[in-house]
């Protein structure tokens, strides 16, 4: 009987460990009315064109909690994940306080994904509305991705967008326009 209780209590503790709240290093907020994401601890905002819904609390990111925990263990944070209302496009924002160049950080992410089933189209130095960035384009599974790597002070950020390959060409300019709304804001 004791061993049965021990197994049950161990199982209960494991479940509680999985459900424990995830602490945010850099909490941000999404304002649906003006479709703007703001992150005051890092000091930036982005405005999304179209009908997007972004989730900024990692505790509400169902299906992504293991990714959130893995990023936390490496010192990074998933700032947000989002989708268009019809779920044909997605986005995410990740930050790591690494104080690396855009290129160094992008190359690290490219190297980490080298052994996964990614069709890599390469890294490109880019400037979006006077902000120097590195852009990484690739396909994985059924989706085509573009990620924009940039820095704010010592923070390395990557904002990704993805959709089906047939839609990617039409929406790539929209993703660039969204990145063009990148604005520095006061930190709190």
> The domain that contains 115 carries what CATH number?
3.40.1000.10
Task: Give yes or no for residue 5 having a pLDDT over 50.
Answer: no
Q: What is the mean pLDDT of residues 45-73?
A: 85
Task: Give yes or no for residue 18 having a pLDDT over 70.
Answer: no
CA 96 centroid distance within chain: 11
Q: What are phi and psi of 42, to 5 degrees?
A: -90, -35
Q: 13 pLDDT band (50/70/90 cuts)?
A: very low
Contact 132, 102 (CB under 8 A): yes
Q: 187 pLDDT band (50/70/90 cuts)?
A: confident
DSSP secondary structure, 138-156, as one string: EEETTEEEEEEEEEETTEE
Decide: helix, strand or coil at residue 105. helix
In a domain, 68, yes or no: yes
Q: What is the pLDDT of residue 69?
A: 81
Task: Give yes or no for residue 88 having a pLDDT over 60.
Answer: yes
In a domain, 45, yes or no: yes
Q: What are phi and psi of 30, to 5 degrees?
A: -110, 130
Q: What is the mean pLDDT of residues 163-185?
A: 96
Task: Give yes or no for residue 50 having a pLDDT over 60.
Answer: yes
Task: Give yes or no for residue 173 having a pLDDT over 80.
Answer: yes
DSSP H or E run through 93:
strand 89-96
In a domain, 9, yes or no: no
Q: 4 pLDDT band (50/70/90 cuts)?
A: very low
Q: How does pLDDT run across 94-131, given as a tens digit for each residue? A: 999 999 999 999 999 999 888 788 899 999 999 998 89
In a domain, 1, yes or no: no
Going by DSSP bridges, is the β-strand pair 118-128/131-140 parallel, antiparallel, or unpaired?
antiparallel
Decide: helix, strand or coil at residue 58. helix
Q: What is the mean pLDDT of residues 28-36?
A: 95
Give the Cα separation of 64 and 145 in Å (integer).
18
Q: What is the mean pLDDT of residues 52-60?
A: 90
171 vs 188 pLDDT, higher one: 171
13 vs 188 pLDDT, higher one: 188
Domain that includes residue 175, residue range: 22-184
In a domain, 133, yes or no: yes
Count structural domains, the chain: 1
Q: What is the pLDDT of residue 9?
A: 44
In a domain, 75, yes or no: yes
153 vs 59 pLDDT, higher one: 153
Task: Give yes or no for residue 7 having a pLDDT over 50.
Answer: no
In a domain, 92, yes or no: yes
In a domain, 13, yes or no: no
């Amino acid at each position: 009987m004791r061993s049965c209780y021990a197994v049950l209590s161990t199982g209960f503790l494991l479940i509680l460990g999985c459900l424990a709240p995830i602490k945010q290093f850099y909490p941000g907020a999404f304002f649906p009315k003006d479709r703007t994401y703001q992150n005051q601890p890092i000091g930036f905002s982005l405005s999304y064109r179209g009908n997007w819904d972004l989730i900024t609390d990692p505790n509400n990111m169902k299906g992504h909690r293991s990714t959130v925990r893995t990023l936390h263990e490496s010192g990074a944070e998933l700032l947000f994940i989002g989708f268009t209302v019809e779920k044909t496009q997605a986005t995410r924002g990740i930050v790591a306080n690494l104080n690396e160049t855009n290129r160094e950080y992008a190359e690290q992410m490219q190297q980490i994904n080298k052994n996964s089933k990614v069709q890599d189209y390469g890294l490109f130095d880019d400037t979006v509305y006077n902000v120097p960035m590195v852009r990484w384009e690739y396909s994985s599974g059924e989706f085509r991705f573009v990620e924009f790597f940039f820095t704010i002070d010592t923070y390395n950020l990557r904002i990704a967008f993805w959709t089906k390959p047939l839609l990617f060409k039409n929406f790539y300019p929209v993703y660039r326009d969204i990145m063009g709304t990148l604005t520095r804001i006061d930190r709190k």
